[in-house]
Amino acid sequence: MALIIGDIHGCLFQLKNLLDFAQPSAEQTIVTLGDYIDRGENSKGVLDFLIQLKNSHELVHLKGNHDAYLENVQADPALYKFWLKPELGGRATLASYQDDLENVPRSHWEFLENSPFFYETEDLICVHGGLIPSLPMVQQKAETLMNLRFHTAKAHHSGKLVVCGHTRQIDGSPRLHNNTLCIDTNVFDGGYLTAYDSESKKFYQVNAHGERKSFSIEDIHSE
């Protein structure tokens, strides 16, 4: 029983409103698919909020490629220029820390360092990007799990539903393809932040205006 949340990208307003809308129980596992930072205006606030959320809920926070970018910049400042490219959105993250990564608290680095690359149950696999369909999860590589794209997805050999983010659905709608569900729904650029309840098979969405939508998996586009 999990509530799975797609790419957040610094959009704290949508994250708070989404959880208020979905109302996860204290017993329900919340799984976030990564990309907590970049592009949106409050990356610092998102990490603060998620760290606090761990006090009241079981939170599994996966690592996305943008989260790894920040870790890589910390390890090698030569990568700063790459991270600050407009298309990556690193400047927004830097601004949320008053333009100085020295202001990133140790708790934020620990949160990122302790983010796993996948979450697996008896009937579900969650990853940020994608996976190799023929391999068990323990044999998957981190770069694969963070960076594969949804349009290349093939059903995993286990038969489990795979839930991913990473591949932005510009129209703000989740997609189902080859038993893979993508819930990166363009939160930072006019779309929605999406949550999927694996038990009820319902979606919850909130946009930057606070508008809310809820619908079932039978209602979404399947390829």
Digit-by-digit pLDDT tens for the chain (223 residues) are 899 999 999 999 999 999 999 999 988 999 999 999 999 999 999 999 999 999 999 999 999 999 999 999 999 989 999 999 999 999 999 999 999 999 999 999 999 999 999 999 999 999 999 999 999 999 999 999 999 999 999 999 999 999 999 999 999 999 999 999 999 999 999 999 999 999 999 999 999 999 999 999 998 866 6
pLDDT at 173: 96
DSSP state of 72: H
Sorted by where each begins, the domain ranges of the chain are 2-222
Burial class (CB within 10 angstroms; exposed 0-12, middle 13-18, buried 19+) of 56: exposed
CA dihedral 66→210→3→200, nearest 10 degrees, is -140
Q: What is the CATH number of domain 2-222?
A: 3.60.21.10
Kindly state the tokens that stand for 101.
């990564």
Start-to-end CA span in the chain (Å): 25
pLDDT at 82: 93
Adjacent-strand bridge partners of 206: 193, 212
CA-angle at 73, arms to 68 and 76, nearest 5°: 120
pLDDT at 223: 64
How far lies 141's CA from each of 36, 123, 145, in Å? 21, 21, 6
